[in-house]
């Protein structure tokens, strides 16, 4: 007893005072410019002084459309990919707990008894006899006292891997939020295109009937009649195509939601005009905001894990001290097991010193290479993130100009179509001019819907690539 307790106290104290051989962590320099690109494609001034940063804006505040908010909330609750990411986090937390537990001794209580008959020719007395032995012990076995930080380095590696997994979960959440928003907006745009194609079909049917009556009385040729049939069939085909796309959009959104769109109180979006656009956000003045993106934080945690792994590989070159000890009581009779003077103790420290093991050098080299791999992956993630943000900023800086030009194009084509129809009705022009004007108008209207979708979708993408859509959950962090 008097040997066991001081040794245990000494070992526990070493847990907090021992050294570690892991190299000090240094964050690599970001291999991207410190500021966002500038030029004709980018806005020279922030969107608005009140525009918030993406990483500090919850998705509930960023998205203004109630139906879209309901869809995102439903997906976050039901989506299986996100659920799998959360389960991976729980597994990583448990693995960290296992590795952290290696720092502490495992106390075990054991009890046992045995009886043995010894024949006379083997007995020291020359007579056969039966022996009995009973014992109860409390102790620990093969507890490694972490003098050189091997176990602590492995614990630190497990912690960083857990934190990387948690950031990966956040990345999955951001991806899910932006994907649901994109699918919702695409559904709204395709429904608007379906409405446009139906109205065009109806208008062309009326124009066809008018040309047919003119042809019957000799005011229009058969060529005009067949030409009038072309936009009718084109619009009819587009109705079928957009009906299919709307159905497929709904199916895709149902999978993301993990349930049917019918559960949403706000229902399906009728068209893109009815969807309230999200808030404008600021990208900030410096590209350092990228370092708060979950995927980049995940890469940094994996880099820190590689540093810790080097410490464990270095510690393998030094002696490993293990301790096995126990205290208890023993007796030859069960009734005397806890009697006075029956206490026992056992103390067995061991030191294992590697003399030659070529594998240790290869293991150390492998950990160093793994660190370089982690550095490269971290830097690559930053470069990819920078390009994603720069691309979305280029779209944001030019899409309003594209929209203005497309709106003007729609108005010009609408007036051209009206005039061509009037000239044809007066017999001043052929139906070919009407057909060309109608095709141009229809294409310009579809292009306008596509640009409006591109603008709103780009706002969502900018929010996502700046790290918006998920906040750290401190309740998930393991207790030290």
Check which CATH number belongs to the domain holding 469 and give it. 1.20.1600.10
Global confidence as pTM = 0.83
What is the per-residue pLDDT across 35-81, written as a single tens digit (0 to 9) for each? 889 888 886 545 555 678 888 889 999 999 999 999 999 999 988 88
| pLDDT tens figures, 432-449 | 888 888 889 999 999 999
What integer pLDDT is reported at residue 3 of this predicted model?
Answer: 44
If you ran DSSP here, which 8-state letter would residue 285 be given?
Answer: S
Mean pLDDT of 19-38: 89
Mean pLDDT, the chain, rounded, equals 85
pLDDT of 404 > 70? The answer is yes
What local confidence, expressed as pLDDT, does residue 474 receive? Answer: 67
Of 468, 453, 476, nearest to 182 by C-alpha is 453
Percentage of residues in the chain having pLDDT higher than 70: 92
Nearest Cα to Cα of residue 184 among 261, 244, 242: 261
Cα 359 vs. chain centroid, distance in angstroms?
A: 37
Burial pattern 103-135, b for ≥16 Cβ within 10 A else e, equals: bebeeeeeeeeeeeeeeeeeeeeeeeeeeeebb
**Domain presence at residue 386:** yes
Whether residue 147 is contained in a domain is answered as yes
| Residue 117 DSSP label | E
Does the residue 123 lie in any domain? Answer: no
Instruction: Residue 212: give the domain boundaries.
Output: 4-113+129-476
194 in a domain, yes or no?
yes
Which residue is associated with the tokens 């990583």? 92
Domain assignment present for 120: no
The residue whose two tokens read 């995927």 is 295
Least confident segment among 108-117, 321-330, 471-480 = 471-480
> b vs e for 264-278, b when ≥16 Cβ sit within 10 Å of the residue's Cβ?
beeebbebbeebeeb
If we measure between CA atoms, which residue out of 283, 281, 272, 282 comes closest to residue 65? 272
Collect all residues with Cβ–Cβ distance below 8 Å to 245 and sequence separation of at least 6.
190, 193, 194
What confidence tens digit (pLDDT) does each residue in 2-15 have? 444 444 444 554 54
Domain membership of residue 217 (yes or no) is yes
- The pLDDT value recorded for residue 222 is 82
408 Cβ partners below 8 Å, 6+ apart?
none
Give me the DSSP letters along 77-91. Answer: HH-HHHHHHHHHHHH
> How many structural domains compose the chain?
1
Asked whether residue 118 is domain-assigned, the answer is no
Angle (nearest 5°) at CA 12 between 6 and 15:
145
Residue 121 lies in a domain: no
């Amino acid at each position: 007893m008097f040997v066991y307790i001081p040794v245990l106290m000494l070992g526990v104290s070493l847990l907090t005072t021992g050294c570690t051989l892991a190299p000090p962590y240094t964050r690599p320099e970001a291999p991207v410019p410190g500021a966002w690109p500038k030029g004709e494609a980018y806005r020279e001034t922030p969107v608005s002084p009140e525009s918030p940063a993406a990483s500090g804006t919850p998705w509930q505040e960023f998205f203004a459309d109630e139906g879209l908010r309901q869809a995102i909330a439903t997906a976050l609750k039901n989506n299986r990919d996100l659920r799998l990411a959360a389960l991976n986090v729980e597994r990583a937390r448990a693995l960290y707990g296992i590795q952290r537990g290696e720092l502490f001794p495992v106390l075990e209580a054991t009890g046992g008894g045995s009886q043995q008959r010894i024949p006379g020719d083997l007995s020291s007395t020359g007579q056969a006899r039966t022996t009995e032995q009973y014992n109860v012990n409390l102790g620990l076995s093969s507890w490694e006292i972490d003098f050189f930080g091997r176990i602590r380095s492995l614990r630190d590696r497990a912690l960083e891997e857990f934190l990387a997994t948690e950031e990966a979960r956040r990345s999955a959440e951001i991806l899910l939020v932006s994907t649901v928003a994109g699918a919702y907006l695409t559904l709204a745009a395709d429904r608007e295109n379906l409405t446009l194609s139906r109205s065009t079909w109806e208008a062309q049917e009326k124009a066809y009937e008018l040309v047919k009556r003119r042809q019957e009385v000799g005011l229009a040729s058969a060529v005009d009649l067949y030409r009038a049939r072309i936009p009718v069939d084109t619009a009819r085909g587009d109705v079928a195509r957009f009906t299919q796309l709307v159905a497929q959009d709904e199916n895709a959104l149902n999978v993301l939601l993990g349930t049917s769109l019918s559960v949403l109180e706000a229902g399906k979006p009728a068209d893109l005009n009815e969807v309230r656009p999200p808030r404008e956000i600021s990208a900030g003045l410096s590209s350092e905001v990228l370092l708060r993106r979950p995927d980049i934080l995940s890469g940094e945690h994996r880099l820190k894990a590689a540093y810790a792994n080097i410490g464990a590989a270095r510690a393998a070159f030094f002696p490993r001290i293990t301790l096995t000890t126990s205290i208890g009581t023993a007796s030859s009779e069960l009734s005397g097991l806890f009697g006075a003077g029956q206490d026992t103790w056992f103390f067995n420290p061991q030191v294992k010193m590697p003399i030659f093991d070529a594998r240790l050098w290869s293991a150390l080299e492998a950990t160093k290479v793994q660190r370089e791999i982690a550095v490269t992956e971290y830097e690559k993630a930053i470069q990819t993130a920078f390009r994603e943000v720069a691309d979305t900023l280029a779209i944001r800086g030019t899409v309003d100009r594209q929209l203005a030009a497309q709106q003007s194009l729609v108005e010009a084509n609408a007036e051209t179509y009206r005039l061509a129809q009037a000239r044809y009705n007066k017999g001043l022009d052929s139906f070919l001019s009407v057909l060309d004007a109608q095709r141009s108008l229809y294409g310009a209207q579809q292009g306008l819907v596509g640009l409006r979708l591109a603008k709103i979708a780009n706002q969502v993408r900018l929010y996502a690539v700046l790290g918006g859509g998920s906040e750290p959950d401190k309740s998930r962090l393991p207790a030290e």
